[in-house]
Chain A
């Protein structure tokens, strides 16, 4: 069987798909449950909420594209030869960013540069040896002379800005049209209510965010075809490409770790709070012990153990990507194992409070067993805390990855991540002139993600705050006959 690619399913991919399924299922369950739906509606009614959701969705989209792995077919000389596949595992994102991925220069070059960052001995056409900055192989190679750079950039920006605005207008009209269809009112009415700001959701803010985003993306896309917008690193790889590839690593650490930690925190927290007695003692003992071990040491030990295992069993890993992926997964596991204690403690406290509520006593006096009480009366009343904790933990974990990789116990060195970018850039900080772009790219892309996640967490926390929600729902309906 010949095909042009061979799909590769990595462990983390599998878990990401699982996570997506869980998210989709929970969206459908939340839609049916007013006590969860109302706060989520509040989230999208806030301007900050909408902005952060749009930005987070962009990151998620990039991360998802980067999670479909496959190996491309190698060209074959004759039709009946068995098909061979490249050992390099690539993703849909790589495919989309092919020029960025393949335009590898010799070494460092500054953003938008046409020349290399370091001087080299080179021979000119006349055969004269010259110690100077050589031209880049790819960036700016379309220019007749490097001096045309400014004019070329200006022209590209103008064209792509124009294109961006057209795309934005089309998107806005299509979205409004969709809204009009859904509500059964005319497109004109929808546009009028949006422009007057009478719409229940902050649509103007959303559209404005979308405009900025489309302009940013279209400009960067157009420019990055001919230039290294964020420069290149030591081995000449495009830094923008690295920053984009790092997104998946960050997201995986942020989300999968939560997935690992959640069952521990939920089970242990609820069990400790509800059953009390010796169960509580044991669980408290476990988490205080775990908390008192420096987590960096624990992680370092675990990662080293995995490395030993991997070097002893090289046959289990066909490609470099699989090795790196296993290490990433392991990092998620160990981070999850060390970080469940905080949430567990909060859930235990809340359960201790809830178990004394009169409705739990009422359920007991109706004859409910423990399991039923936990499932119907305790767990649903803890979900808001779980949701807030997930969103808050996310940004902390993304930052933790950067720190751990910097220390050298994070993800595999062959895996592109913000932590690795920072780690490799730190040596160049002492150079004169300084090589700042790797660090800046990692910093900016991480900063935007974490800021968006934190703003989102803020809005989510506000929306689930019982007092705020109460103010929204305070109309008491008179149901008496």
Chain B
């Protein structure tokens, strides 16, 4: 049988840099090919090349893209317009920005019907409603006239899928379609994709960096690394015996995490006392309306949360986006105004301190943010960034501070000489190390880690987690670790708190929660996790 899509020796470059370096891919009808790789490996560029929607700076230097016997690269722009949305369609990662906010979703789906099938009016409307029904949007007739902001993230992604399916494409390109979604919704979207694929016998080119997602979706897996395809294998072979060194490294980083935990467990003999005690914490954001900006209601980000954190231990707060876990961290730090409750740190109620006292106390609790790109001032040198806290919190001389900066840089695994560089000269993982050094500079007892690894590639993720455990062992730090990633719970947590809509639904020992969840939401959360192995259904 002739394959549906065949890519031969495709090379795409940006100026002197080669983004895609002579790759070959084949995809059969009705099959799913997962293109697996980290950010910057050239996966998305490959997808854009197929549709020829590359940025202006990119040039296709060589290769063939054959779809059902026709070379797409030889087609004119006009002919490509018929292919895009007709034979091939695409779903993007970010459903929030992929839909036009001033058009009803029905009209947006109908647009491609009008272009490719010349369907208008009631005929188009009928077909769109049928599509909406198919992708699981309830009361589709009414929702046709709704605008994108009236849908949740998962629903928007469903609308995107409906738009892509409108003209019965033979090939669907899905560019990380579930990465921006919460785990429970991710599972639903993936299952929907599998269902429509079976029904239409459609081929899917699925782009992801997540091994778990790959295991669920793939028939074949192609691993991409620095513009090259390093491994091409069927799903069964890839997940049982990955052959290339890079693929093995991807699996190993997942395994490494559990080893890290083993060293951390040994240290449990320390005297334990409650370092942080939060009682009935409320964080409400007022909703102001009208000319006089009177408060008409509250967004209750955190409701009545109590928790205790012992010294030298790690508590992981798990929850989906919007569950209030970040507000909890900022509330404890007093970075947002707290509406009620008590935050006892080392026996001192942080909420009763004056502004000046609080500034003094801040040295004891530090925070590491999710996005390593926005968490450092781009105009300051690394040395100055790390030094800032010491200037404010200690009376060390300039020479002592310099020594300490170099010591910290070595401690987090960077060259001492790099203190003269600027943040943009470092990779994401290295920046996160600098943020850790900045936090350590003031010798804190507690570090609140707000999703510190979720913006990083998996190789870096493992390194950062390893570094954090190592520092905990050496310095006796406590962590309040905020994450949506349940894999981290297994690796780091002593204690787990599950948050849902601003409230704690379950908390307890890590092992107990993972293996014997009590609350329905926790059960749902754990069952939605896609393990990087093949599950027989």
Binding site for B on A (CB under 8 A): 33-35, 357-359, 361-369, 372, 376-377, 380-381, 470, 473, 475-481
Are B389 and A367 touching (Cβ within 8 A)?
A: yes
User: Nearest residue in B to A478 (C-beta to C-beta)?
Assistant: B427
B367 located at the interface, meaning its Cβ lies under 8 Å from any Cβ of chain A in the complex:
yes
Are A479 and B389 touching (Cβ within 8 A)?
A: no
Contact A367 B366, CB 8 Å, known A359-B374, A376-B377, A381-B379? no
Q: Give the docked Cα–Cα distance between A251 and B367 (Å).
A: 50
- Name the contact of B414 in the complex, choosing from A34, A357, A481 (C-beta under 8 A): A481
* A33 surroundings in chain B (CB, below 8 A): 379
Are B438 and A369 touching (Cβ within 8 A)?
A: no
User: Nearest residue in B to A356 (C-beta to C-beta)?
Assistant: B374
Q: Give the docked Cα–Cα distance between A297 and B444 (Å).
A: 60
Question: From residue B104, how far is it (CB to closest CB) to chain A in Å?
Answer: 31
Q: Give the docked Cα–Cα distance between A368 and B335 (Å).
A: 12
Question: From residue B461, how far is it (CB to closest CB) to chain A in Å?
Answer: 15
Contact A359 B376, CB 8 Å, known A34-B422, A477-B426, A479-B414? yes
Q: Give the docked Cα–Cα distance between A35 and B430 (Å).
A: 20
Are A365 and B333 touching (Cβ within 8 A)?
A: yes
Q: Give the docked Cα–Cα distance between A24 and B422 (Å).
A: 25
B393 located at the interface, meaning its Cβ lies under 8 Å from any Cβ of chain A in the complex:
yes
| 0/1 string, B41-69, CB within 8 A of A gives 1 | 00000000000000000000000000000
Contact A479 B377, CB 8 Å, known A362-B367, A362-B435, A365-B367? no
Contact A367 B360, CB 8 Å, known A35-B422, A477-B425? yes
Shortest beta-carbon contacts, A-B, top 4: A358-B375, A366-B389, A367-B359, A380-B379
Are B415 and A476 touching (Cβ within 8 A)?
A: no
* A367 surroundings in chain B (CB, below 8 A): 359-360, 362-363, 389, 392-393, 442
Contact A365 B362, CB 8 Å, known A358-B369, A381-B379, A479-B421? yes
Q: Give the docked Cα–Cα distance between A475 and B425 (Å).
A: 7
Question: From residue B3, how far is it (CB to closest CB) to chain A in Å?
Answer: 37
Are A477 and B421 touching (Cβ within 8 A)?
A: yes
B371 located at the interface, meaning its Cβ lies under 8 Å from any Cβ of chain A in the complex:
yes
Question: What are 7 A-B pairs with beta-carbon distances under 8 A?
Answer: A35-B378, A363-B388, A365-B367, A366-B366, A367-B362, A367-B393, A480-B415
User: Nearest residue in A to B410 (C-beta to C-beta)?
Assistant: A481
Of B330, B365, B369, B433, most A-chain CB atoms within 10 Å: B369
Question: From residue A244, how far is it (CB to closest CB) to chain B in Å?
Answer: 41
Question: From residue B409, how far is it (CB to closest CB) to chain A in Å?
Answer: 9
Are A368 and B392 touching (Cβ within 8 A)?
A: yes
Are A368 and B388 touching (Cβ within 8 A)?
A: yes
Contact A381 B378, CB 8 Å, known A362-B438, A473-B424, A479-B418? yes
User: Nearest residue in B to A473 (C-beta to C-beta)?
Assistant: B424
* A476 surroundings in chain B (CB, below 8 A): 425-427
- Name the contact of B374 in the complex, choosing from A358, A365, A480 (C-beta under 8 A): A358
Q: Give the docked Cα–Cα distance between A107 and B362 (Å).
A: 79
| 0/1 string, B329-360, CB within 8 A of A gives 1 | 01001010000000000000000000000011
Are A480 and B414 touching (Cβ within 8 A)?
A: yes
* A365 surroundings in chain B (CB, below 8 A): 333, 335, 362, 365-367
Q: Give the docked Cα–Cα distance between A470 and B57 (Å).
A: 15
Given A365-B362, A476-B427, 14 further pairs, Cβ under 8 A:
A357-B375, A362-B369, A362-B438, A365-B365, A366-B393, A366-B438, A367-B360, A376-B377, A381-B379, A478-B427, A479-B425, A480-B429, A481-B410, A481-B413
Q: Give the docked Cα–Cα distance between A477 and B415 (Å).
A: 11
Of B374, B410, B421, B427, most A-chain CB atoms within 10 Å: B374
B380 located at the interface, meaning its Cβ lies under 8 Å from any Cβ of chain A in the complex:
yes
* B360 surroundings in chain A (CB, below 8 A): 367
- Name the contact of A479 in the complex, choosing from B362, B430, B435 (C-beta under 8 A): B430
How many A-B pairs with Cβ below 8 Å? 98
* A376 surroundings in chain B (CB, below 8 A): 377, 380, 388
Question: From residue A297, how far is it (CB to closest CB) to chain B in Å?
Answer: 29
User: Nearest residue in B to A364 (C-beta to C-beta)?
Assistant: B335
Q: Give the docked Cα–Cα distance between A479 and B362 (Å).
A: 30
Contact A362 B415, CB 8 Å, known A367-B389, A470-B424? no
Question: From residue A235, how far is it (CB to closest CB) to chain B in Å?
Answer: 55
* A358 surroundings in chain B (CB, below 8 A): 369-371, 374-375
* B377 surroundings in chain A (CB, below 8 A): 359, 363, 376-377, 380-381
Q: Give the docked Cα–Cα distance between A129 and B422 (Å).
A: 85
Q: Give the docked Cα–Cα distance between A475 and B414 (Å).
A: 17
User: Nearest residue in A to B366 (C-beta to C-beta)?
Assistant: A365
- Name the contact of B415 in the complex, choosing from A359, A369, A372, A479 (C-beta under 8 A): A479
Question: From residue A129, how far is it (CB to closest CB) to chain B in Å?
Answer: 77
Q: Give the docked Cα–Cα distance between A368 and B385 (Å).
A: 12
Q: Give the docked Cα–Cα distance between A477 and B380 (Å).
A: 17
Question: From residue A60, how far is it (CB to closest CB) to chain B in Å?
Answer: 29
* A380 surroundings in chain B (CB, below 8 A): 377, 379-380
User: Nearest residue in A to B414 (C-beta to C-beta)?
Assistant: A479
Q: Give the docked Cα–Cα distance between A473 and B425 (Å).
A: 8
Contact A366 B430, CB 8 Å, known A358-B371, A477-B421? no
- Name the contact of B413 in the complex, choosing from A361, A366, A473, A480 (C-beta under 8 A): A480
Q: Give the docked Cα–Cα distance between A367 and B359 (Å).
A: 4
* A477 surroundings in chain B (CB, below 8 A): 418, 421, 425-426
* A470 surroundings in chain B (CB, below 8 A): 424
* B359 surroundings in chain A (CB, below 8 A): 367-369
* B389 surroundings in chain A (CB, below 8 A): 366-367
Q: Give the docked Cα–Cα distance between A361 and B362 (Å).
A: 12
* A363 surroundings in chain B (CB, below 8 A): 377, 388
Are B335 and A361 touching (Cβ within 8 A)?
A: yes
Q: Give the docked Cα–Cα distance between A88 and B441 (Å).
A: 67
Q: Give the docked Cα–Cα distance between A311 and B426 (Å).
A: 65
Q: Give the docked Cα–Cα distance between A362 and B379 (Å).
A: 15
Question: From residue A369, how far is it (CB to closest CB) to chain B in Å?
Answer: 7
User: Nearest residue in B to A378 (C-beta to C-beta)?
Assistant: B377
Q: Give the docked Cα–Cα distance between A381 and B363 (Å).
A: 25
* A361 surroundings in chain B (CB, below 8 A): 330, 335, 367, 369, 375
User: Nearest residue in A to B441 (C-beta to C-beta)?
Assistant: A366
| 0/1 string, B403-429, CB within 8 A of A gives 1 | 000000010011100100110111101
Q: Give the docked Cα–Cα distance between A192 and B392 (Å).
A: 55
Question: From residue A214, how far is it (CB to closest CB) to chain B in Å?
Answer: 38
Are B393 and A480 touching (Cβ within 8 A)?
A: no
Q: Give the docked Cα–Cα distance between A480 and B467 (Å).
A: 13
Q: Give the docked Cα–Cα distance between A357 and B376 (Å).
A: 9
Question: From residue B392, how far is it (CB to closest CB) to chain A in Å?
Answer: 5
* B413 surroundings in chain A (CB, below 8 A): 480-481
* B410 surroundings in chain A (CB, below 8 A): 481
Of A34, A363, A365, most B-chain CB atoms within 10 Å: A365
Q: Give the docked Cα–Cα distance between A289 and B95 (Å).
A: 41
* B442 surroundings in chain A (CB, below 8 A): 366-367
User: Nearest residue in B to A382 (C-beta to C-beta)?
Assistant: B379
* A369 surroundings in chain B (CB, below 8 A): 359
Are B392 and A366 touching (Cβ within 8 A)?
A: yes
Question: From residue A67, how far is it (CB to closest CB) to chain B in Å?
Answer: 34
* B414 surroundings in chain A (CB, below 8 A): 479-481
Question: B residues 476-494 with Cβ under 8 Å of A?
Answer: none
Of A361, A380, A475, most B-chain CB atoms within 10 Å: A361
* B392 surroundings in chain A (CB, below 8 A): 366-368, 372
Q: Give the docked Cα–Cα distance between A480 and B429 (Å).
A: 10
User: Nearest residue in B to A381 (C-beta to C-beta)?
Assistant: B379
Q: Give the docked Cα–Cα distance between A330 and B421 (Å).
A: 46
Question: From residue A370, how far is it (CB to closest CB) to chain B in Å?
Answer: 10
* A479 surroundings in chain B (CB, below 8 A): 414-415, 418, 421, 425-426, 430
Of A368, A372, A470, most B-chain CB atoms within 10 Å: A368
* B438 surroundings in chain A (CB, below 8 A): 362, 366
* A475 surroundings in chain B (CB, below 8 A): 425
Question: From residue B325, how far is it (CB to closest CB) to chain A in Å?
Answer: 16
Question: From residue A253, how far is it (CB to closest CB) to chain B in Å?
Answer: 32
User: Nearest residue in B to A357 (C-beta to C-beta)?
Assistant: B374
